[in-house]
Structures are given as C-alpha cells and as structure tokens.
Structure 1
Amino acid sequence: MDSTMDPVVLQLGVESINVGDILQRTVAFFVGLFAVLLVGRLLFVPLVLKGLENRDFDKAVQSLGESVTGGIVWFAAIAVAFTLGGFGAFLGAFATLGGALALAIGFAAQDLIGNFVAGVFILKDKPFEVGDWIEWDGQSGRVEDIDLRVSRVRTFDNEQITVPNGDLANNAVKNPVAYNTLRQKFVFGIGYDDDINAATEYITEEAENHPDILEDPAPSVRLVELGDSDVGLQSRFWIEDPDRGDFVRVRSEYIQAVKERFDEEGIDIPYVHRTLTGEVEVIESIAQEA
C-alpha cells in the first residue's frame, strides 16, 4: 500500500472528493452569509427605517419597509454566500427560476399588488384617517381601519364596507371633515308674492340664533333660482368640528327653525301645482256609429 497518498483526497470508484476544497467552500459560504446578514441587520435595515421615520411614514409602512428590507438582506446574503462558495451555476439557475416564478405571480396577483401599493400611498399621503367621514363613488361612511390591502368603512346604517385600497386611491374621495370648519347650503323656496328682503332677514336671523352655527364666517343668503312656483333663496352657513352626527342635527334644527319662523311671519313655502288642460274631440263618423 502506498503510504504517500494525499490524506485529503478520498478515492471512491472513478470519482474523487477533495475534502479540503469542500471545507474551504463551506467556510466561505457561511462566512459570506453571516457577514452580509450582520451588515444588513446592523446598518442597512436601521438606515431604511430612519429614512421612513424622517419622511413621517405611518407605522404600518415602517413595518412593511422593515420586512421588505429584511427580505432583501436575506436575498443578498444567500447570493453572496453561493458566489463565495463557488456555486455560481446553481445561483444562476435559481435566479432564472425565481424570476419566472415572480413574473407568473405578478400577472396572477396584479390587482392584489395594486391594492397593496395603493395602501402604502394612502398611509403616506393621508387623504383621510381613521375616524374621518368620507364619500366616494356614491357611498359614504366613517373609516374604521386602514390596512395595506383594504380599508374598512362603517356606513351610517351601521353596515361595514370592505373597500380595496385601489378604489380609494384611484378615484375621487371627498373628506368633509378634513378641516376644522364646514360650509353647508340649503335652498328655501318662498312664494312670488312674498317679500324677498324680509325672508332673507328671517333666514339669516335663525342662523345667527343657532348656537352651533358660526358667526365668523357669517351666514349669508343668495337668490339662486326662479322656479315654476317659488323663488329659491340659498342659505350658506358654517359649522365647527364637522362630525357627521353634528352636521345632520344642526342642519335639521336650522331648517325647522326657519320653517316655523316663516309660518309665524306669513311667508309662504309653496308646493308645485299642476294644472291639466286639453280638449276631447269626437270624430263625426264615430259619433254617428255610436
């Protein structure tokens, strides 16, 4: 037996395994893996989180950013580890397969991804927040929750609507409570024989007498239409902290007060009258037969 055989080379049939080379590649693989993970966790992830905080992103976006950054760090660590370990061919095949798989998933879940991205922009731009009363696409309600994929809205009939964020991000959304005050309008119809100046005075006085209608900006009245049976006087008034419950209550109380004042002062609120006119013509030949 030859005692000079290299101890790190084992002969197995027609193939030989260099134990030293395998050990070297394994060490390089794990060193690269842990080095990239360490740098990523200690430097890259905190740097991204700091940037998101400085831009005032929502906590949900910051959490998402941390998760995505962590995934990128792991991907980079595995790529570097395979490269240092000498498995470049395997890494190339894995990248090709992963790219094809990502493309297929992207086509299959494009709506889901679109809603996800829309959720990120909603949380960043804040067109509305939890607790706001919003109106969109003929619907309205109070926002209860904003997730990364959907937003949940409670309607004023106490129903919950789960709305894809893409619908809210890509369409017009009205937020009546975005500011501290809200202007409201209502058209009162008076008769053509009534005194417009007197009716205007009564409408303004009732607005000024209501404790929840602001004095500044002051209420105003404009003549806006001459209808078939009435003259339209539009009242414009402002309320503070425009919660929808307060808005409906104040509006109802104010309209009732104006109606009662009109009744006291003899101001008519006419309703539409319909008069049907015409004639009946009897054809002579038909009349004779009858």
Structure 2
Amino acid sequence: METNLEYWTEKLITLGTTYGLKVIGAIVFWIIGSWVIKTILKTSRNLMAKSDYDESLKKFLLNLVSWGLRILLVITLLGVLGIPTTSFAAIIGAAGLAIGLALQGSLANFAGGVLILLFKPFKVGDYITGSGESGTVKEIKIFTTELATPQNRKVIVPNGPLSNSNITNYSANELIRLDMIVGVSYDDDIKKTKEVLMNVLTSNPKVLKDPAPMVAVTELADSSVNFAVRGWVKNSDYWDVHFENTEAIKLQLDAAGIEIPYPHSVEIQKQG
C-alpha cells in the first residue's frame, strides 16, 4: 500500500514538473496573446475610422483579422504545450484548398466586393455602367451590387465581373458635358445655323457660361452637314437639358427655315 502511494506521489511530481510549467506558460501566453489581439483590433478600428472605410467592409475586415489572430494564438498555445502542430497546419491548409475550389465563383465575387468597397470606384447614388449593366447604385454588398435602371428595374450584379470590367461613373464629377449632333441640309447657311444652335445653348439657363458652350461643324456627311452642339451642365441637370435642347433645336431651326434632312418616300404613278 505504502509502495503504491509512493509510486503515485512520484508520478504526480513528475507530471507536475514536466507539464506544470508548460501549462502555466500557456496560461500566461494566452493572457498576453489576448491582450495583443485586442490592441491590434483597437488600432485597426481607429485606422479604419480615420480612412473612412465602408461600415460593412470595416466589420468584415475586423472579424477576419480577429479570427485569424485567434486561430494563430490557439495553434501557438498547442506548440507551447508540446503538442505537434504540423498536422493542424496541414488540416487547415487542406480545408482551405477544398473550400476555395468549391467556392471559386463566390470567392471571386467576395474579392471583387472587397476591392469595390476599398477603392470606391463608385458609391451609393452614382449612375454607372459596368459589366454590361447601367443604373443607379442602390446598395453595395460584399458579394453583389444592386442597381436601379432608369425604368426602375432592380438589377443584381456580381461583384467579381463588375470589379474586373470597365466601369463608367457618370456621377463622379459635378459637371458633365452634353454632346449633341445636329444635321442640316447642304443648302442651308452654315453661319446662320451656328447662330441658331448657339442661341439654343445660351438661352437655356441650365447650360453653364463657363466652360463656354460650343457649336462647330464636325462632319460633311452624305446627306447633311453635321454640327457638334456642346454645353456644360451640372450632373443633376443633364437629362433635363438634353430633352429641353432637343425640342428647342427643332423649333428654332424650323422658325429660321433651316431644314433637318430626312429620307423622302417617292410615289410612282402608273401612266396610261
């Protein structure tokens, strides 16, 4: 009985000596590691706030950093306790590869969403064209971007193709140039036509005086002399000015007796 007690006492002392210090070290390492993670997250949060990151991207990146650091901390603790971590690293790597292959499309959309939220080629409220779609941006999510077409149709565009396509942002600048092409007959006077077209531009209060509007002959086409009619407007006034000027050009050219060429049908009558 006494021999067994001595045996187990020695066993406990040996185990305590062998693993006690490792357990204490692991506990201390966990406390310090948790404090370091909190400090890194707090610093990252402050830096993102100064950089005006999108709120959804901010939360995602902070969660990603938090989980990554905690996984790294757990694997390190296992190493401190003397548990081999090579197998854990291999399992995590294999799982990551399998998930990546299974979710290739989703990961591409996710990466595209991160790039859009990070570099901000457009924001909510902008009118854009990208990935073959046009519309006003209603919402930017991690995987998709929601557009509303001029007909108020809802279009969901995957962020992967959108971030890799050419994006035209019509709302990025405060001012935008309205370009119109007007063709008149070869029989009409060029100077008089330019005066009429310039009067259309200068008479519209929404067309800016600076930069100055411009009217110029741009092409001698097969059946018409074409004029470039250009005026700068505020972004919000673009379509109003487009419709107003289109109507005014037709009315003022008619009033001045200047013809806009169009195809004429010829009626052939039978003789006899």
Q: What's the offset of the Cα at 1:272?
A: 2.5
1:5 counterpart SS class:
helix
Q: What's the offset of the Cα at 1:124?
A: 2.0
Q: What's the offset of the Cα at 1:126?
A: 1.4
Pair 1:270 & 2:266 matched: no
CA distance in 2, matches of 1:32, 1:82: 11
Q: Which has the larger radius of gyration?
A: 1
Q: What's the offset of the Cα at 1:247?
A: 2.0
The answer to whether the 8 A contact 2:113-2:142 is kept is yes
**Aligned with residue 59 of structure 1, among 43, 55, 59:** 55
**Aligned with residue 74 of structure 1, among 67, 70, 75:** 70
The answer to whether the 8 A contact 1:228-1:272 is kept is no
CA distance in 2, matches of 1:162, 1:96: 38
Match of 2:33 in 1: 36
Match of 1:2 in 2: 2
Match of 1:247 in 2: 238
Question: C-alpha deviations, 1:6-32, integer Å up to 9, x for none?
Answer: 444679xxxxx9467565554444443
2:6 counterpart SS class:
coil
Q: What's the offset of the Cα at 1:178?
A: 0.8
Q: Which amino acid aligns with 2:253?
A: F
How many residues are paired up?
266
Query: Structure 2 matches for 1:78-227, cutoff 5 A?
Result: 78-87=74-83, 89=84, 91-227=85-221
CA distance in 1, matches of 2:173, 2:128: 13
Question: C-alpha deviations, 1:170-210, integer Å up to 9, x for none?
Answer: 11111111111000111111111111111110111111111
Q: What's the offset of the Cα at 1:34?
A: 3.3
CA 1:204–1:33: 2 relative to 1, 3 Å? same
The answer to whether the 8 A contact 1:152-1:161 is kept is yes
Q: Which amino acid aligns with 1:97?
A: I
Identity, % of aligned pairs?
29
CA distance in 1, matches of 2:145, 2:184: 44
The answer to whether the 8 A contact 1:136-1:168 is kept is yes
**Aligned with residue 43 of structure 2, among 44, 47, 60:** 47
The answer to whether the 8 A contact 2:37-2:69 is kept is yes
The answer to whether the 8 A contact 2:131-2:162 is kept is no
Q: What's the offset of the Cα at 1:103?
A: 1.1
**Consecutive unaligned residues in structure 1, runs of 5 or more:** 12-16, 277-290
Q: Which amino acid aligns with 1:268?
A: E
The answer to whether the 8 A contact 1:31-1:81 is kept is no
CA distance in 2, matches of 1:27, 1:103: 35
Question: C-alpha deviations, 1:105-159, integer Å up to 9, x for none?
Answer: 1122222222222222212221111000001244210001111221111111111
The answer to whether the 8 A contact 2:113-2:144 is kept is yes
1:135 counterpart SS class:
strand
Q: Which amino acid aligns with 2:161?
A: D
**Aligned with residue 250 of structure 2, among 259, 281, 284:** 259
The answer to whether the 8 A contact 1:48-1:65 is kept is no
Q: Which amino acid aligns with 1:271?
A: Y
Q: What's the offset of the Cα at 1:65?
A: 2.1
Q: CA RMSD in A?
A: 2.5
CA distance in 1, matches of 2:119, 2:36: 32
Q: Which amino acid aligns with 1:83?
A: G
TM-score (norm 1): 0.83
Q: Which amino acid aligns with 1:67?
A: N
Q: Which amino acid aligns with 1:35?
A: I
**Consecutive unaligned residues in structure 2, runs of 5 or more:** 268-272
More helix by share: 2
